[in-house]
Amino acid sequence: MTKAVIFCGGTVYDYDAVSAYIDDKSYFICADAGIIHCNKLGIKADLWVGDFDSSDFNTYSKLPAAANAEVIRLNPMKDDTDTEYALDCALARGYKEILLIGAMGTRFDHSLINVFLMEKAAMNNATLIIANENNIIHYVNDSSIVISKSHMKYISVIPLDEVRVTNKGFLYPLNDEILYRNSSRGISNELLDEIGMIYIRGGSAVIIEAKD
């Protein structure tokens, strides 16, 4: 099964950069105004969900991206965001690799909860990654991650719990050292080798690859 790509209603500045993350064989889900991003990338949505409070359904349903898409209209009086509902759809349909595009923007509350949705995906044995032009965000829980050298310059470890961190192949080495949620010690490391390893023990952390 291919991965699911969820287009959210946040900001996308560089569609060429974002397109590099997308495999055209993926299953494409749009959360409300995310249909705009899908359309600008020339992609046909497979599923479009939302309460359509941030987009005009009658207008955007005429976009090429919306043609033949399955549509689930949600009640605006609900307990979850359109993005979380889209994630639930991806999980229910069996996708284990999920990518969020347009998950960050001017609404910091939405941006932050989208990061925490990565934990929900992990609890359902799925991997959720958030990506934009300048960042790739991973979630690691008591396990390891391989980071390959790319156009991203900095690698940051942001603990969500009190965790022990070991890394290999980085400018600033860590050897089973404790990182705390209220400390910035894990920010702005850099890869020395073509491939680096980060081991998280005793809890969870967000790993961010940042361009500048």
State pTM to two decimals: 0.94
CB atoms within 10 A of CB 44: 14
- Confidence at 54, pLDDT banded by 50, 70, 90: low
**Are 106 and 176 in the same domain?**
no
Is the pLDDT at 47 greater than 70? The verdict is yes
**Are 149 and 70 in the same domain?**
no
Q: Which of 116, 133, 150 is the last residue of a domain?
A: 133
In this prediction, residue 2 carries a pLDDT of 86
Per the structure, the count of domains in the chain is 2
pLDDT in tens, 1-16: 689 999 999 999 999 9
Out of 50-59, 74-83, 97-106, 159-168, pick the least confident: 50-59
**Are 76 and 147 in the same domain?**
no
Long-range pairs of 58-61 with CB within 8 A, sequence gap ≥ 24: 60/33, 60/35, 60/36
Separation of alpha carbons 14 and 11, rounded Å: 9
**Are 31 and 127 in the same domain?**
yes
Q: Which of 100, 133, 166 is the last residue of a domain?
A: 133
**Are 127 and 156 in the same domain?**
no
Separation of alpha carbons 4 and 22, rounded Å: 10
Q: What is the CATH number of the domain that holds 153?
A: 2.60.120.320
**Are 152 and 47 in the same domain?**
no
**Are 29 and 125 in the same domain?**
yes
**Are 156 and 205 in the same domain?**
yes
**Are 33 and 121 in the same domain?**
yes
**Are 194 and 100 in the same domain?**
no
Does residue 85 sit in helix, strand or coil? helix
Order the strands of the 4-7 sheet from edge to edge: 70-73, 47-50, 27-31, 4-7, 97-101, 127-131, 135-141, 204-210, 154-159
pLDDT in tens, 120-146: 999 999 999 999 999 999 999 999 999
Structure tokens at 35: 């249909």
**Are 170 and 126 in the same domain?**
no
Q: Which of 94, 117, 133 is the last residue of a domain?
A: 133
**Are 122 and 165 in the same domain?**
no
Separation of alpha carbons 172 and 129, rounded Å: 24
- Confidence at 150, pLDDT banded by 50, 70, 90: confident
Q: 120 — phi, psi (to 5°)?
A: -60, -45
Range of the domain at 177: 138-210
Does residue 30 sit in helix, strand or coil? strand
Average pLDDT rounded to a whole number, residues 185-199: 96
Q: What is the CATH number of the domain that holds 91?
A: 3.40.50.10240
3-state SS track over 112-135: HHHHHHHHHHHHCCCEEEEECCCE
